Amino acid sequence: DVVMTQSPLSLPVTLGQPASISCRSSQSLVFSDGNIHLNWFHQRPGQSPRHLIYKVSNRDSGVPDRFSGSGSGTDFTLKISRVEAEDVGVYYCMQGTHWPWTFGQGTKVEIK
Amino acid sequence: EVHLVESGGALVQPGGSLRLSCAASGFTFSSYSMHWVRQAPGKGLESVSAISGDGGNTYYANSVKGRFTISRDNSKNTLYLQMGSLRGEDMAVYYCARETILGGSNDYWGQGTLVTVSS
């Protein structure tokens, strides 16, 4: 199985400041059609995961533009330009190229 | 609006069986592959199983292969997960999730249903 490794696992942030989460895959995520299925999710306590970013850098409908995804090869990044209180929770990267789809361990974002 | 509502979670003894259901609405169910993803208490997310829109292709994580069966009834807009030979490590919240139309991600998730495995 493809191993997804996130860092850091805990990220205390100051409101209004930027935040960045790294995700590394154990192998290439390039699909047969050339797409890279690296996705990001946000899960608040007691809630289901919310789809934020798909195919590395595409924001899902309704996702604020302070969220951005980037990366290539096996290294990917989720950035929040200015953290807001509603951004707390756990962020997961996930690869949807190779079955079984696999998730990173999660990065817990909290306000300092 | 897309809605996914899971049901069927319960307390079951080790070695027991359970069937989960996921009722879908707000989209053309048969056009989408569907997934089951689970989350053990306080842990991360794990893909369990997936099924193509017509039900012809199914996929399983190694941890559940041979014990779980995914299926769907497109006439009822419902996804199922038949779980057998349940183990303690199967205890989790089980989410059904829709796969994106072009594949590669899960864009809508249900609220989850809790499966507890304990004697």
- Residue B99 — very low, low, confident or very high, per pLDDT cuts 50/70/90? very high
Question: CA A45, B25, A40: angle at the middle one, nearest 5?
Answer: 40
pLDDT digits (tens, 9 = 90+) for A13-61: 999 999 999 999 999 999 999 999 999 999 999 999 999 999 999 999 9
Please state, in angstroms and rounded to a whole number, the distance separating the CA atoms of residues B72 and A55: 27
% of chain B exceeding 90 in pLDDT: 99
Chain B residues touching A96 at Cβ < 8 A: 103-106
Confidence (pLDDT) at B80:
98
Confidence (pLDDT) at A80:
98
Contact A96 B103 (CB under 8 A): yes
Contact A55 B111 (CB under 8 A): no
Confidence (pLDDT) at A18:
97
Q: Least CA distance to B41: which residue of chain A?
A: A46
What contacts 24+ positions apart, CB below 8 Å, involve B57-65? B59/A99, B59/A100, B60/A100, B61/A100, B62/A1, B62/A100, B63/B89, B64/B90
Quick check: bond before B14 cis, omega within 30? Answer: no
Contact B61 A51 (CB under 8 A): no
Q: What is the mean pLDDT of chain A?
A: 97
- Residues with Cβ within 8 Å of A78's Cβ and at least 6 positions away in sequence, in order, are A20, A21, A23, A40, A52, A53, A67, A68, A69, A91, A93
**Which of A37, A92, A101 has its CB closest to that of B44?**
A92
**Which of A39, A48, A100 has its CB closest to that of B105?**
A39
pLDDT digits (tens, 9 = 90+) for B7-50: 999 999 999 999 999 999 999 999 999 999 999 999 999 999 99
Confidence (pLDDT) at B82:
98
What contacts 24+ positions apart, CB below 8 Å, involve B88-92? B88/B14, B88/B117, B88/B118, B89/B40, B89/B63, B90/B38, B90/B64, B90/B115, B90/B117, B91/B40, B91/B41, B91/B115, B91/B116, B91/B117, B91/B118, B92/B38, B92/B39, B92/B40, B92/B41, B92/B43, B92/B46
